[in-house]
Structure 1
Amino acid sequence: MSSILLLTSSPRAESLSTPIAVDLAEKLKSQNPGSVIVRRDLAANPLPHIDDLFTGAIRKPPEARTAEESVAVETSDKLVNELLAADTVVIGTGLINFNIYSGLKSWIDNVARAGQTFKYTETGPVGLATGKKVYVVLASGGVYSQGPAAPLNHAVPYLKSVLGFLGITDIETIYVEGLAFGPEAAEKAIDAAKSRVQEIALAA
């Protein structure tokens, strides 16, 4: 059974990254009737940020952890399993202070687990979460895909770097940008993103 992991992270009620990411996941599911969507709304249900207890617990085998340590890594274990089981990952985020929302960063901190989603070898780290396609829906008031503000877009390079570290390199970004440039520009950006979502779904 095919699994689509849907991660949304915008805390904004009028978010555009969230509905477009949801629409993409649902269209991909409709093209593959046997698939399921596993959704994590990282804004409505924020994950715990990692702490000293967590970082100590993940360095121990499960049988060596205390009861408190086992609880500390329980959510992380679930998140890792969801990622590894997914064939497709759809990520929705806004560009906040030139990067991703902190809730999405917390998800990354929880799934980047040595021995599970990556491993260290004599020739360097090797990603273990391979064979997945990732779609990133990135919404922003300005234009960051190109032009003078592009160097300030740390979200896409960061996601590509960290997901690549985990073994995921097939990544496409759907920009919903220029939203602060007036109603006409916003409408054009939204239509372009929706059009790309439709193209992706039809090609799936």
Structure 2
Amino acid sequence: MGSFMTALLHLDASARPGRSDLHAHGSHTRRLSARFTARWHAARTTDSLLYRDIGQNPPAHVDGAWIHAAFTPEPARAPWMHQRLAESDALVNELIAADLIVAGVPMYNFGVPSGFKAYIDNIVRVGRSFGFDRARAGEPYWPLLDERPRTLVLLGSRGDYGYGPGGRIEAMNHVEPAVRTAFAYIGITDVRSAAVEYDEFGGDRLAASLRTAEAAVDALVDTLLAERAARAGQQLVMA
């Protein structure tokens, strides 16, 4: 990062195509992720931005052919294996290139949308994002994406309320814990989050939760901008 630029990867996983601030039945997570990226880009206009709409164009789910190809050493792969892994390779390459990943991921039936699960299955790749050696002493698995700092900003929405830390149904939240686990496994451990609740209730409670989540998004942007400015200053001093 000699130029101190940040590569931002923006992911949306909602099945709803629109944003709730622009469309009557739009997505809250798209609303939050768009707010984050717009605020970030306004402050850092030269940073690169790559957008992938997983909700509207989900990756292919892992199947037997994918598994066969992924666990075949690359020099021994047949042409069809490279073709089957091409989408996964593109997704992994995007993640490797990113410094900041902003993901809008709503809760569907207590977990992530199936498209985002397919995304996770495509980026958690032996030899690409994590290493494996059964003969390795101690831990046979190790992350490959921990060679430099990367941050994941996870922006969610929930129909009910009380899914957050210490909440009444925290144990039923399998979104943030699952995503944190998968990304930490490949080396991305810095995860920040915010979420909207009360979607199924609507009215004043939903409106208040949206205001709180948007304020949290703004605070996250400000915090991360300050952290990157401090890191850039340290790099200049070291240079």
TM-score higher than 0.5 here?
yes
**Alignment RMSD (CA, Å):** 1.4
Choose which of 151, 157, 160 in structure 2 pairs with 1:133. Answer: 151
Work out which of the two has the higher radius of gyration on C-alpha atoms and give 1 or 2. Answer: 2
Q: Give the superposition deviation at 1:202.
A: 2.5
Moved more, 61-70 or 140-149: 61-70
Q: Are the counterparts in 2 of residues 10 and 101 from structure 1 also a CA contact under 8 Å?
A: yes
1:49 matched to which residue of 2? Answer: 61
Percent identity reads 27
1:7 matched to which residue of 2? Answer: 11
Q: Are the counterparts in 2 of residues 7 and 42 from structure 1 also a CA contact under 8 Å?
A: yes
Moved more, 21-30 or 87-96: 21-30
SS in 1 for 2:85: helix
In 2, Cα distance between equivalents of 1:118 and 1:76: 14
Choose which of 138, 149, 152 in structure 2 pairs with 1:123. Answer: 138
Q: Give the superposition deviation at 1:161.
A: 0.9
- Relative to the length of structure 2, the TM-score reads 0.81
In the TM superposition, what are the counterparts of 1:167-178 in structure 2 within 5 Å?
167-178=187-198
In the TM superposition, what are the counterparts of 1:124-203 in structure 2 within 5 Å?
124=139, 125-130=141-146, 131-143=149-161, 144-145=163-164, 146-203=166-223
1:33 matched to which residue of 2? Answer: 45
- Gaps of at least 5 residues in structure 2 are 18-25, 226-239
SS in 1 for 2:10: strand
In 2, Cα distance between equivalents of 1:38 and 1:159: 20
More strand per residue: 1
Q: Are the counterparts in 2 of residues 128 and 167 from structure 1 also a CA contact under 8 Å?
A: yes
Alpha-carbon displacement from aligned partner over 1:7-51 (angstroms, at most 9, x marks no partner): 111112421111211221222232222211111101211111111
In 2, Cα distance between equivalents of 1:88 and 1:191: 24
The number of equivalent residue pairs is 204
- Gaps of at least 5 residues in structure 1 are none
2:23 matched to which residue of 1? Answer: none
In the TM superposition, what are the counterparts of 1:92-103 in structure 2 within 5 Å?
92-103=104-115
In 2, Cα distance between equivalents of 1:22 and 1:89: 13
- Relative to the length of structure 1, the TM-score reads 0.94
SS in 2 for 1:148: coil
1:74 paired with 2:101, answer no
Alpha-carbon displacement from aligned partner over 1:30-81 (angstroms, at most 9, x marks no partner): 2222211111101211111111111111122334222221110001111101
Q: Give the superposition deviation at 1:141.
A: 1.1
